[in-house]
């Protein structure tokens, strides 16, 4: 059976499951569409939340980022997992106790302002649309490779699937679909990792294999990886080479950005009780850890496999004990079929610059007096000939590089799509709820019937899918880069206003409005200036120029500064204006402090 047929079987079977669940769990009311009628079991909700949160960036891009940068990109692991702890402890239970459907609804009611609610909607739309671009990019990458179609065709196929189960089922359909998607993606991520860990370290647990012994050389695996990449002129894999300030700032931006993601927050509105929100948060961390503890091993092993493919001698001896891979081998060897297939997608490219029939892979920007550059001069190399390796392909290509069975590759294809589609559905649901419930019902037409509101929710979902697909055709970066931008925006706008709304009785509507606007706008302006939208003579002069960054702060780390600005402006403006009404202060107190029923003495549960 051909690999294409296997891919089609696994992808088709997973899609059939998702569609079947959507038909079974279709929403018949706004309560089911927005919050699954608040009837999701904590364990199920934990699994669905994990799938919602572990996006294409987690499944596809994160290990690729770790593979090519090493320790310095552990910020993604620390920031995303740490942020989820903040969300679980500081926000989720209190927001569930408030008993509403959407994040903007909480903002509007807590700050007794329709304007604040609409600004919350705007922030949510900007964050969610930015985030969903990364998911659609992941869908395009996966389809392009495994169904042998163009990126654009893959995007439209993925959009059609999401349209079916998200528009039909709403939160109810999305929840149970995400449970199935979590099962698919975690199996797809761990099975190849186990195979590769056994092959490279003899340890079936990738988490232990990462710190074990490399079977080919007898040295520690990470020592072997460091030796191979430094021999090729690259920086050591386990070393810290960047700015410690930016590493700290970026980690913090991802943490508070995670805690402010609307599509994750709304998952905690689906459980029956406040205690269930806490319980489902704990289960989510368990399910997330199953992937996140494996990701460092996947990234490092993918980097070693790629390097030893290009320099076969590096697997056991010296990096240059044999010639690099040749053009003839790439064109004819069964073991290098993965290069031919990924080459057709344009995400992996090579060029024989010196015409010797070999593909030299090394860092041609290494110091002139380094061993690799001296070797390049002696042999007439004319630069790195593996001209591009898109970070997004490393997890998807890893099983092929390691020559794993075809069925494993088929599972990985289904897993990559499950990760991207699950998060895309959650984001689109958040967008739909903001438009139909907060904008249309909350501001434009308060008297709208439930039937028409449900229709509006489905129409806004369909429009959001169309917009997300169109944006995904021309994304501003690969999946994790685009997602990181969304986290910065969430950190600077949503997270501060939720924290102040729960833990401060003094912050009023004027403070919340000006805080959100100042935090969001400063972050957007900074990112747009430094990440590719500010051009001088047709060329962006500032994108990768730390000397021009404000206080040396990278654009992806600026969400922390935006959050600080949000907090400061909100408190200053609130101090200069009237206190919130007494009933609002009592509302804050009731959200934060458990209340007992006067007759029974039992805690009062949220609605």
124-144 pLDDT, tens digit per residue, is 888 888 777 777 777 777 777
Q: What pLDDT, on the 0 to 100 scale, is given for residue 235?
A: 92
* pLDDT over 60 (residue 595): no
- 321 pLDDT band, cuts 50/70/90, is low
DSSP 325: P
Q: How do residues 522-559 score in pLDDT, each as one tens digit? A: 988 887 777 654 444 344 445 556 677 777 788 888 89
Which of 126-140, 238-252, 312-326, 422-436 is least confident? 312-326
DSSP-based three-state secondary structure for 596 = strand
Q: Is the pLDDT of residue 345 over 80?
A: no
Q: Which two tokens stand for residue 151?
A: 């990126």
Structure-derived torsion over alpha carbons of residues 224, 227, 229, 232, reported in degrees to the nearest 10: -140
> E strand or H helix at 520, and its extent?
helix 509-530
Average pLDDT over residues 400-417: 85
Per-residue model confidence (pLDDT) at position 93: 85
Cα 401 to the center of its chain, rounded Å: 24
Q: Which tokens hold the place of 578?
A: 């009237």
pLDDT surpassing 80 at residue 320 = no
220 pLDDT tier (thresholds 50, 70, 90): very high
Q: 172 near 425, Cβ under 8 Å?
A: no
Phi–psi pair at 347, nearest 5 degrees: -90, -10
Contact in structure between 303 and 237 (CB atoms under 8 Å): yes
Question: For the residues 387-400, what does the mean pLDDT come to?
Answer: 83
Percent of the chain residues past pLDDT 70, beyond the cut:
91
- Per-residue pLDDT, averaged over 455-471, amounts to 84
Model confidence at 428, pLDDT cuts 50, 70, 90, reads confident
Q: 388 — phi, psi (to 5°)?
A: -155, 140
Cβ atoms of 271 and 192 within 8 Å: the answer is no
Please tell me the least confidently modeled range out of 109-113, 153-157, 328-332, 481-485: 481-485
pLDDT, mean of residues 78-89: 85
How many Å apart are CA 460 and CA 124, to the nearest integer?
14
- The answer on pLDDT for 599 being more than 90 is no
Instruction: Identify the band that residue 603 occupies on the pLDDT scale cut at 50, 70 and 90.
Output: very low
Sequence ranges of the chain with CATH classification 1.20.1730.10: 3-302+399-592
Confidence of residue 383 (pLDDT cuts 50, 70, 90): very high
- pTM value is 0.83
Distance of CA 515 to the CA centre of its chain: 26
| Helix, strand or coil, per DSSP, at residue 348 | strand
Q: Which of 580, 49, 522, 558 is nearest to 266 (CA)?
A: 49
Predicted local distance difference test score (pLDDT) of residue 401: 83
> Could you write out the three-class secondary structure of 580-593?
CCHHHHHHHHHHHC
Percent of the chain with pLDDT over 90: 29
Query: In the predicted model, is pLDDT for residue 493 greater than 80?
Result: yes
| Helix extents (H) in 473-508 | 479-503
Q: How confident is the model at residue 473 (pLDDT cuts 50, 70, 90)?
A: confident
Of the pLDDT bands very low, low, confident and very high (cuts 50, 70, 90), residue 600 is: very low
* Pair type for strands 348-349 and 388-389: antiparallel
The band of 111, judged by pLDDT with boundaries at 50, 70 and 90, is: very high
- Partnered with residue 596 across adjacent β-strands are 603
State the CATH architecture for 3-302+399-592: Up-down Bundle (1.20)
Q: What is the pLDDT of residue 240?
A: 92
Residue 131: predicted pLDDT? 78
From residue 286, how far is each of 47, 80, 84, 206, 280 by CA, in Å? Answer: 9, 14, 11, 17, 10
What value does the mean pLDDT take over residues 241-261? 88
User: What pLDDT sits at residue 575?
Assistant: 96
**Mean pLDDT for the chain overall:** 84
Phi/psi region, residue 552 (left: phi>0; alpha: psi -120 to 50; beta: rest), is left
Nearest-angstrom CA–CA distance, 230 and 235: 6
pLDDT number for residue 351: 93
Supply the pLDDT for residue 36: 75
Q: pLDDT-based confidence at 606, cuts 50/70/90? A: very low
User: How far apart are alpha carbons 603 and 273 in whole angstroms?
Assistant: 11
CA distances from residue 394 to 23, 63, 476, 483 in whole angstroms, order as listed: 35, 7, 20, 18
42-53 vs 274-292: helix crossing angle, rounded to 10:
50
Long-range CB contacts for residues 457-460, cutoff 8 Å, separation at least 24: 457/30, 457/33, 457/34, 457/170, 457/432, 457/433, 458/33, 458/167, 458/170, 458/432, 460/431, 460/432, 460/435, 460/436
Q: What is the pLDDT of residue 517?
A: 95
- Distance CA(233)–CA(224), nearest Å, equals 15
Name, of 56-60, 121-125, 280-284, 499-503, the range with top average pLDDT: 499-503
pLDDT at 116 over 90: yes
Dihedrals φ, ψ of 220, to 5°? -60, 140
Structure tokens at 517: 């606007």
Which of 168-172, 474-478, 495-499 is predicted least confidently? 474-478
Distance between CA atoms of residues 601 and 75, nearest Å: 46
Class of residue 368 by CB neighbours under 10 A (exposed 0-12, middle 13-18, buried 19+): exposed
More confident residue, 570 or 156: 570
Q: Please, which pLDDT band fits residue 565 given cuts at 50, 70 and 90?
A: very high
Highest mean pLDDT among 157-166, 271-280, 579-588 belongs to 579-588
Neighbours of 150 (CB within 10 A): 14
Within 8 A by CB and 6+ apart from 436, the residues are 453, 456, 457, 460
């Amino acid at each position: 059976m051909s690999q294409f047929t296997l891919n089609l079987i696994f992808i088709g079977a997973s899609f059939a499951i998702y569609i079947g669940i959507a038909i079974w769990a279709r929403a018949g009311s706004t309560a089911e569409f927005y919050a699954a009628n608040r009837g999701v079991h904590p364990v199920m909700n934990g699994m669905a939340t994990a799938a919602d949160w572990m996006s294409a960036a987690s499944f596809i891009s994160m290990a690729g980022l770790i593979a090519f940068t090493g320790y310095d990109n552990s910020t993604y692991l620390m920031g995303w997992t740490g942020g989820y702890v903040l969300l679980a402890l500081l926000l989720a239970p209190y927001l569930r106790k408030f008993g509403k459907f959407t994040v903007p609804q909480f903002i509007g009611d807590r700050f007794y302002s329709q304007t604040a609610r609409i600004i919350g909607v705007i922030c949510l739309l900007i964050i969610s649309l930015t985030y969903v671009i990364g998911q659609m990019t992941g869908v395009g990458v996966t389809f392009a490779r495994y169904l042998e179609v163009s990126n654009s065709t893959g995007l439209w196929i993925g959009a059609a699937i999401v349209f079916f189960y998200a528009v039909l089922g709403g939160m109810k359909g999305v929840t149970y679909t995400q449970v199935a998607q979590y099962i698919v993606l975690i199996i797809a991520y761990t099975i190849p990792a186990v195979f590769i860990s056994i092959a490279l370290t003899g340890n079936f647990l990738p988490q232990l294999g990462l710190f074990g012994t490399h079977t080919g050389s007898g040295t520690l695996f990470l020592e072997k990886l460091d030796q191979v990449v430094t021999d090729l002129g690259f920086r050591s894999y386990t070393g810290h080479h960047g700015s410690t300030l930016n590493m700290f700032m970026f980690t913090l931006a991802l943490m508070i950005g995670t805690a402010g993601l609307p599509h994750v927050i709304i998952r905690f509105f689906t459980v029956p009780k406040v205690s269930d929100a806490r319980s489902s948060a704990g289960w989510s961390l368990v399910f997330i850890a199953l992937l996140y503890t494996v990701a460092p091993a996947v990234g490092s092993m993918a980097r070693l496999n790629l390097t030893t493919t290009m320099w076969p001698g590096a697997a056991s001896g010296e990096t240059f004990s044999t010639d690099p891979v040749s053009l003839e081998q790439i064109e004819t060897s069964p073991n290098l079929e993965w290069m031919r297939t990924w080459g057709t997608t344009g995400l992996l490219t090579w060029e024989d610059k010196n015409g010797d029939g070999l593909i030299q892979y090394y860092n041609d920007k290494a110091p002139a007096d380094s061993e690799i550059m001296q070797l390049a001069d002696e042999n007439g190399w004319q630069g790195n000939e593996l001209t591009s390796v898109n970070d997004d392909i490393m997890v998807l290509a890893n099983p092929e590089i390691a020559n794993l069975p075809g069925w494993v590759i088929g599972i990985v294809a289904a897993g990559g799509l499950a990760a991207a589609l699950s998060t895309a559905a959650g984001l689109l649901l958040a967008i739909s709820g903001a438009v139909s419930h907060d904008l249309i019902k909350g501001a434009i037409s308060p008297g709208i019937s439930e039937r028409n509101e449900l229709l509006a929710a489905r129409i806004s979902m369909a429009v959001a899918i169309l917009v997300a697909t169109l944006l995904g055709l021309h994304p501003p970066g690969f999946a994790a880069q685009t997602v990181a931008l969304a986290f910065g925006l969430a950190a600077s706008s949503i997270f501060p206003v939720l924290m102040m709304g729960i833990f401060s009785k003094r912050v009023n509507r004027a403070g919340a409005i000006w805080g959100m606007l100042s935090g969001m706008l400063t972050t957007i302006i900074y990112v747009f200036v430094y990440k590719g939208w500010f051009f001088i003579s047709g060329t962006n002069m500032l994108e990768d120029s730390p000397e021009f960054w404000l206080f040396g702060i990278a654009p992806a780390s600026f969400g922390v500064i935006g959050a600080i600005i949000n907090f400061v402006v909100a408190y200053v403006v609130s101090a200069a204006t009237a206190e919130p009404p007494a009933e609002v202060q009592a509302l804050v107190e009731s959200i934060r402090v458990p209340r007992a029923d006067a007759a029974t003495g039992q805690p009062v549960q949220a609605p």
